[in-house]
A and B are shown apart, each in its own frame.
Chain A
């Protein structure tokens, strides 16, 4: 690995301000790179004269042993950690134990000191905190800069991200900057007898599973939310905490979040986070009939999803579409009402723990997936099911 300042450098000092580690100074009219450099490439991008060049070949096999520790990139918004971060700590802890290495969490934000404790109670031995006002809201540039920089500095052997909207934006960017491999949306992780991370993921819409390994370090993967189990928190645990000092120059952050709009505010609309989803398809016939589905969902404390035809008709927003062109969900229970179960739909829900189907067509492919299926008229069954569930709920109340 090498960094070089070319003749075209004018000593303007833009890179000095841009460097996250204060590793650059201007001496004799030229930028000079100091030992604190992590080759994070921020200066390369900041230079108006393209005068800084970094050669970053992949880590050679004989240096793999320098890379130690399992890292979880914890995701927070407004100071609240996402559930997937705890799931990753559970899984990361298992991997770290097999490797005989430490489990660390890294979290970035404007004010995240308070998050060290919960990350520790869920299993992190060490927590790296990166605080900067520019990290208040997620932006690809700022988060990539700081993560690529800390990963380069501390050399973990494994880095896990949640396969969330932001995780899937950030992880490939960081992986490409570090010039390492990345496996998307894993549903399983193992350590093989050569102590390599085996990353297991579905492909071709879940028709096949693939086991993938990385040829360089760190080994990086995004992990599908709700697949791994979060461990039981242990309040007695106190992690080692390290505040990582990183500068950020606003000039290197090229995008800006102007506004954040929350369209889905009710739990019934958030299918990705739901334990239980009631989903309906073409069988519902009319938009008015969706009311029944919402009532059933309410009785079950469930979110409401739908197959593509329902969304294409404009009866449900796109965010609630389950399937290939919508979302992939894996709730504890998926109750499919009037859904035939085309392959496009199955792709989005076949990893649910339990599937129940109600459909009038006994030949509907959804019955091949269902743990429990009822052949019958949904308009007859759904209201009665809702009623029975309400009665049970009422009885439970003291």
Chain B
């Protein structure tokens, strides 16, 4: 099984602060991490490789420092990594991202592509399906269990639904997106960390992908962010300290009645 895992380096959003004057994100000093949902994808790829053999390639598009996210994947056990980096890729929306990733993937051999269900900075969950469409392969999104039948060239996955899950059988090659619960991602071992530095990280630019610059990044995007603003702050509420629990409960009941909830 040749597996490609698409990953993204994201800011640790728990540390993102908002500038109170400009209402923009203060990204300075915010650490970057491997997108948590991508860890499930990497882990699953490694488990499939352990069971069926093959190789795991991790792929990302981003600035040069996105290499850090790839190194983590290599330390977890991925075999090789590819970094797509070029100023022309900057400002890409989900379409332009998926398109660029597809250009790189079309040059590789693969049986399966794994992605996290979404990145925690954008939360769109769109790049996976858009990539699958660009590659012309089927997809199973939001999976929490994966079984590969290599001989029959198919995969059976449990896909989360609103009230449970559905069992989906799909031909390979296919693209799957991972949710929490798929597995418990391993921590990189000391050996893994040491060997990661010896593994290959290829970089590719727009020219390497033979891409037209007008189809990449901001220029190649079909959507445009025209304004960014702070969400309306919630109204300051009433906080009470009641030493008597019966009275505290009563205050809540009164509030619920005032709000016509009961």
Is A342 engaged at the interface, CB distance under 8 Å to the other chain?
yes
In the complex, identify which listed stretch (B68-76, B106-114, B118-126, B197-205) lies at the interface while the others stay far away: B118-126
Q: Is the CB of A367 within 8 A of B95?
A: no
Q: Which residue of A181, A264, A381 contacts B93 across the interface (Cβ within 8 Å)?
A: A181
A176-B134, A185-B123, A270-B162 given as contacts; is B139 within 8 A of A169 (CB)? yes
**Contact indicator per residue, chain B 224-235, by CB within 8 Å of chain A (1) or not (0):** 111111110011
* Cβ contacts under 8 Å, A319 to chain B: 160, 163-164
A140-B138, A319-B160, A343-B14 given as contacts; is B223 within 8 A of A183 (CB)? yes
- Give the residues from 271 to 326 in chain A that come closer than 8 angstroms, CB to CB, to chain B: 272-273, 276, 300, 318-319, 324-326
Query: Once bound together, how far apart are the Cα atoms of A202 and B251, in whole Å?
Result: 33
**Contact indicator per residue, chain B 7-38, by CB within 8 Å of chain A (1) or not (0):** 00001011010100001110000000000110
Interface footprint category on B? 35 or more
Q: Is the CB of A173 within 8 A of B132?
A: yes
Is B6 engaged at the interface, CB distance under 8 Å to the other chain?
no
Is A1 engaged at the interface, CB distance under 8 Å to the other chain?
no
Q: Is the CB of A204 within 8 A of B14?
A: no
A172-B129, A176-B130, A176-B133 given as contacts; is B161 within 8 A of A209 (CB)? no
Query: Once bound together, how far apart are the Cα atoms of A169 and B130, in whole Å?
Result: 10
Query: Once bound together, how far apart are the Cα atoms of A362 and B240, in whole Å?
Result: 9
Query: Once bound together, how far apart are the Cα atoms of A389 and B18, in whole Å?
Result: 40
Query: Once bound together, how far apart are the Cα atoms of A262 and B98, in whole Å?
Result: 33
Query: Once bound together, how far apart are the Cα atoms of A116 and B136, in whole Å?
Result: 33
Q: Is the CB of B252 within 8 A of A212?
A: no
A182-B95, A208-B228, A326-B180 given as contacts; is B239 within 8 A of A370 (CB)? yes
* Cβ contacts under 8 Å, A213 to chain B: 223-224, 226
Which one of B95, B129, B240 has the greatest number of beta carbons of chain A within 10 Å?
B129
Q: Is the CB of B126 within 8 A of A376?
A: no
Interchain nearest-CB distance for A159 vs B (Å): 13
Total chain A interface residues with beta-carbon distance under 8 A: 95
- Give the residues from 229 to 262 in chain B that come closer than 8 angstroms, CB to CB, to chain A: 229-231, 234-235, 237-243, 245-246, 248-253, 255-256, 259, 261-262
Query: Once bound together, how far apart are the Cα atoms of A212 and B228, in whole Å?
Result: 9
Interchain nearest-CB distance for A292 vs B (Å): 12
Is B194 engaged at the interface, CB distance under 8 Å to the other chain?
no
Q: Is the CB of A372 within 8 A of B262?
A: no
* Cβ contacts under 8 Å, A183 to chain B: 223
Q: Which residue of B16, B159, B164, B259 contacts A263 across the interface (Cβ within 8 Å)?
A: B164
Which one of A44, A176, A177, A207 has the greatest number of beta carbons of chain B within 10 Å?
A176
Interchain nearest-CB distance for B142 vs A (Å): 6
Q: Is the CB of A209 within 8 A of B230?
A: yes
Q: Which residue of B129, B161, B230 contacts A208 across the interface (Cβ within 8 Å)?
A: B230
Q: Which residue of A168, A259, A265, A377 contacts B167 across the interface (Cβ within 8 Å)?
A: A259
Q: Which residue of B14, B136, B167, B252 contacts A372 across the interface (Cβ within 8 Å)?
A: B252
* Cβ contacts under 8 Å, A216 to chain B: 222
Query: Once bound together, how far apart are the Cα atoms of A375 and B189, in whole Å?
Result: 44
Interchain nearest-CB distance for B92 vs A (Å): 12
Is A8 engaged at the interface, CB distance under 8 Å to the other chain?
no
Which chain A residues have a beta carbon within 8 Å of chain B's beta carbons?
44-45, 58, 140-141, 144, 164-165, 168-169, 171-173, 175-177, 179-185, 198-199, 202-216, 254-265, 269-270, 272-273, 276, 300, 318-319, 324-326, 332-333, 342-344, 347, 350, 354-356, 358, 362, 367-377, 380-381, 384-385, 387-389, 392-393
Q: Which 9 pairs, one residue from A and one from B, show the smallest C-beta to C-beta distance?
A: A181-B222, A380-B245, A176-B133, A181-B223, A184-B124, A172-B129, A263-B164, A255-B170, A384-B249
